[in-house]
Every structure is written in structure tokens, then in C-alpha cells.
Amino acid sequence: MNISLIIFGLLAVVAGALAASNIIIERLPNAKQYIEKMVPYQAIIGVIAMILSVLKIFDVFTAKEGFFTNVIILGCVAATAIVGFLLGFPMVQQWIASDEKSKEKAEGIRKKLLPYQVIAGLVGIGAGIYLVLAGLVP
């Protein structure tokens, strides 16, 4: 059992669900109540997802999982980093509030990534589910 894969997979599923909440609620109206409970924490979830995805990229190159699993991990890392940045942007903006150039640069990056939020969220959900299952297999 690989606990780090399970934790990262669960985080990817939660962050992905917040990022693709409109599509999820449209398809599964019962999920609305659960997503609404996570919304107040979405900035914190986003920052944690962003940090863990950066740390997980180093783990991919030293991992002993198979090639296919490592490719899924890389996709999950990319999707989770994008979703994490977009969800955690209010907190990131507070950290760089003093420097106007950095603030404008971060806003520009956010605007470029915003069209990919739902796609990255769905990729994060799918890859996260796979990672949870792969982490459960000894």
C-alpha cells in the first residue's frame, strides 16, 4: 500500500471536484451539497494541492511504479498544479500583494489558465481515482 499515492489521489479528486463543480452539479445534482461544504476551504485546498504537486514531481522520477502509473502521476501532477493555482489564487495574491509587477504577472498566468480549469479538474478527478486504486494495490 502506497500512502503517498492515496493521499495525493484524494487531494486531486477533491481539488478537481471544486474546479469542475459546474459540470459535476449539472450531471449529479445530489453532489451540490457536498461541493458547497468544500467551497469555503477551496483556497486552502488549492494551495495545498499546488505545493504537493510540486513535491510529487520529484517523487515521480524516484518512484518504482510502472511506466503507465508514472505517466498518470505526471498528468495528475500537471492537472493538480493548475487547479491548485487557480483555486489558491486569492491566497497567492495576498502573499505577493506588495509587489505590483508580481501581482500583474500572477494575474496574467491566471487568465491564461482559466479556460483549462474544468478540463484540468476532470483530469485530476480521473487520475486521482486511478492513483487511489493504484496506491491500495500492494
Average pLDDT taken over every residue of the chain: 86
- What pTM, to 2 d.p., does this model score? 0.84
Confidence of residue 137 (pLDDT cuts 50, 70, 90): confident
As to burial, measured by CB atoms within 10 angstroms (0-12 exposed, 13-18 middle, 19+ buried), residue 91 is middle
Q: What is the pLDDT of residues 97-125, one digit of tens each?
A: 677 777 788 778 888 888 888 999 999 99
Measured on CA atoms in the order 96, 105, 19, 61, is the torsion positive or negative? negative
Grid coordinates 491500495 are at which residue?
Answer: 136
Q: Is 38 helix (H, G, I), strand (E, B) or coil?
A: helix
Domain hosting 110: range is: 3-136
The number of distinct structural domains making up the chain is 1
